[in-house]
A and B are shown apart, each in its own frame.
Chain A
Amino acid sequence: MMRTVEVLLVIVIITGAFIISSFYAVLPQPRRVSPINLRRLALTTLQTLDTDHDLSLTAFKPSDDSSWANLEIALSACLPPNIVYNLTVYDVLSSYATLYSVYKSMSNVQNLGVGSDASSYLVASSNVTFQFTPEKIGGGVTLYILNCSDANGWWITGYTAQKFAEDLNTLLSPYFQNTIMVQDTTQLAKILNGIPLKNESLQNAVVINTFGEAVPIPGNYCLGGDHQSEGYEPHYDPVPPMTFNYTRYCYTLGKITRQFNWTWASVVGYPFYYVSNTQVFANDQNTYGIYGMQKVYQGGLNAFLQGMDNQNYAYNSQLPTVNTTSIIAHLSTTTQYYCNYYGIYPTLYQTSTRALNGSILYTTYHLNVTTYIFDPVGNQIAGAVYRNITKASGGFLALGLTRTPDIRLTALGLLCDYKPNLQPSDPTASGTSKLVILQLGQVGGV
């Protein structure tokens, strides 16, 4: 009898355990077992209503405008009958105390119940243009664009230096404190002599030579000029058998680049291959029929680099600083990243026939690459920015691509090297945006 009583006690205990566990093990409502993803449905509904920017336009209309009624009709029409909603539009305030305040609300039910979910959507006013404000490079760096009307270019076939100057001005002027077009060689002579054109700072400037393989030369650096000794020095070169008179001018440019810590940019081809002045060299041509220039030949680049490296001038046309083998150069990963950042999209690969020899630049002229515009192919560098390894002054951007140049690459190379920030306008500034929240709930069933 005792055992039976014990078993009865066990039954009571187990029954109690079952009742208690059943009490706590509450199974969810069938609707919650397999719910519709209301959050996603709300988001896609808002996106649909804003397809033609109708939602954005309505959100900024007065709260008694008839377009709100249309929005309500469209909202009711596009949701299934068993879905109820509450759409609320909030003003975005600049005050830190209250960030959002209700502007307009519409709903087809008093209470959405506990099973609702919501999505938010930020709409912008059509009167507001979001833009990026570029940071000025170096605080007050000057950009000089050589736009000399008394010089001719080479390897810029189909364009003019003036057209390139105009495009560069559009692309780069937002990033510089001062952008100055050097309109003729007289103005070029001034800045070479350390005289600013518009009270700008000469130090740390960027100088872009838009004349391709030619570089403008002021008349006073030519034979008979008051700076003749800095520009003119005849040198007979047996290979090819020819006299080159203006290699020293390139050396002077290198020296000045170092002196003022300029960054000299060559946009295409073989840098410093010709000097150009349409008045002084009116009867000279570059052997291809372009008058107003004289050939400097391969010694020009070496002379410039000597000047930049503070070496003594010595005519040298034999050092193969430029490799004329044709290669296909691909934009470096860094450059591709900055393509997206600055919104400049040149072709990802280009043909290079005037790539610079990286090892010569390093060993002979003590130049390090600070920015690879293109990935190097062996020792050949199709496009890069170089600076002195001892951090002495001066920089050199060279794009050894074949003609005709894509001027955007020059702009991109400079931006990649200086990396100015872009400051986006604040989309949450008061009056520019409204926050729309659509809350959905399900009715019917259990």
Chain B
Amino acid sequence: MTGTTIDHLVAVIVFLGVILLFISLFNQTIQTAIIYQRHRYLATKCSDLLDDILLNPGYPTDWGKLNLTPTSFGLQDPEFTEYRLSPFSLMRLQSLTGTPFTYPRTGATYSNISMGFGNFLFVPYTEAINYSMASQLLGTNNTYGFQLTITPTITVSINETHAANPLTLTIRVAGTGFPLSNALVSYCFLNVTEKGPQKNPSYSSLFNTTYTDNEGLAVATIPNVDADNAYAFIAYAHMSGLVGTGYHERVTGYKEYVLPLIDSFEEKQVLLVHSYNVHDFSPPESSVFFNATFVLLTEDFTLREMPMENSIGKLDKVVYGQGTKEQYATLTIPTYNPGILIVAYESNNKSGVVLMPWGISSMAFPVSFGNDLSGREWVATDMRQVMVNNIAYQAKLALWSLEGYQVTS
């Protein structure tokens, strides 16, 4: 009798133990399958959402050129079909990476999309579309997080290999996977000429073309350039439908310079401000004299100058703690065709040149928009090749879920 009882007890205990063990084992398999399905769904959602953003211009369709907030979010160029994005809608996206700053004279905070010194793009927060707004308009608010990056497919990097007489610049053209050999490179060289103290600088321009070699390298030789000359060099490389752009500047004045701030997309207005008004350096510094021009990117990727009002002016001396007599200069870009605002400046016998794209593609600025993806448990990504005003870009969307179990690592 006792033996039977012990037999039952051992059998029940072993049975229960085994059942628990196998439930746990089956559970793991099922859980893995469920997570696989969720991740798979997330990947599909990522692809759909990317198409939603890229194949829809939003509403109003030309919201990129207006000051209002869109009621539907999309980046497609309303004048085209397929994967062609509006260079102005992209400009209105609040940058994820750049450090914003506040301009004390107007009190406006600016999204910083700049690509280093001299290649500036500042968009006021009042005009920029932030992630929260885009997420609400896309219907992903509180359900999915995303990060959208639009990067140029072709990288054109320019290095100075000989400083003067002649100035020699090496242009390196590469795609995301391979150097672009035998590509036609058309370039524009703008040489800044100082006119002496208290005078606006002038500039001269030179246009030419060259080809890249098998390693994707091309050399541009510019005669009659002194080592202390400030200049800007803009190059467009194109081959078989792929177009990329690069730029390079040499400046001698790094402290007193001009910062272009976009004021209104609708009015096409740009403020030119004294660098000391933004960075609040001390002690008080000299006036900056400027000479601005707008160059238009033509269909054959050459640059054409367009006349612009108030292109020559002066940003007065900064009196520390009191600002300037004239706080900023206002320029009106004459067109909605993408181009580059070039501002040559001079102060205290130091000169330089700053560039600002009008339409993100004219200087192939990358765009990073959305939320930080670090710390997410699973991030699905997808990509498309897109065109922004004929410049080749790659659009990548990273998407993660904000709902459910284990969405953060």
- Which chain B residue shows the least CB distance to A52? B241
Residue contact B18 to A14, C-beta cutoff 8 Å: yes
Q: With an 8 A cutoff between CB atoms, is B47 at the interface?
A: yes
A357 on interface, CB distance cutoff 8 Å = no
Do B242 and A40 touch across chains, with their CB atoms under 8 A apart? no
| Interface size, B (range) | 35 or more
Nearest Cβ on chain B to A346's Cβ, whole angstroms: 23
Known: A78-B153, A79-B176. A36 touches B381 (CB 8 A): yes
A10 to B381, Cβ gap below 8 A? no
Residue of A nearest to B242 (CB): A74
Residue A41 at the B interface, CB < 8 A?
Answer: yes
A70 touches B380 (CB 8 A): no
Select one of B3, B29, B40, B386 contacting A34, CB under 8 A.
B40
The residue of chain B having its C-beta at the shortest distance from the C-beta of A15 within the complex is B22
Distance, CA A162 to CA B154, complexed state (A):
57
Known A3-B8, A44-B385, A76-B175: A14·B32 in contact at CB below 8 Å = no
A74 in contact with B180 given A6-B11, A41-B383 (CB within 8 Å): yes
Q: How far is the CB of B381 from chain A (nearest CB, A)?
A: 7
A34-B180 CB under 8 A given contacts A4-B7, A44-B384, A55-B240: no
Stretch at the interface among A17-25, A241-249, A302-310: A17-25
**Residues 41-78 (chain A) with a chain B CB within 8 angstroms:** 41, 44-45, 47-52, 54-55, 58, 67, 69-71, 73-78
Q: Judging by beta carbons under 8 Å apart, are B25 and A18 in contact? A: yes
B45 to chain A, nearest CB (A): 11
Residue of B nearest to A22 (CB): B29
Closest beta carbon of chain B to A434's beta carbon, Å: 16
A80 and B43 contact, CB distance less than 8 A: no
| Count of interface residues, chain A, beta-carbon cutoff 8 Å | 49
**CA distance in complex: A35, B46 (Å):** 10
Within B144-184, which residues are at the interface with A (CB < 8 Å)?
153-154, 174-182
The CA of A73 and the CA of B181, in the complex, are separated in Å by 7
Knowing that A51-B390, A77-B177 are A-B contacts, what are 15 other residue pairs whose CB atoms are under 8 Å apart, sorted by A's residue number? A3-B12, A4-B10, A11-B18, A18-B22, A21-B26, A33-B36, A35-B43, A40-B382, A41-B384, A49-B242, A51-B387, A52-B390, A74-B175, A76-B178, A78-B242
Chain B interface (Cβ < 8 Å from any Cβ of A): 3, 7-8, 10-12, 14-15, 18-19, 22, 25-26, 29, 32-33, 36, 39-40, 42-43, 46-47, 51, 82-83, 153-154, 174-182, 239-243, 378, 380-387, 390, 392, 394
12 contacting pairs across A/B (C-beta < 8 A): A4-B14, A18-B26, A34-B43, A36-B382, A41-B383, A47-B82, A47-B83, A48-B241, A58-B240, A76-B175, A77-B178, A79-B175
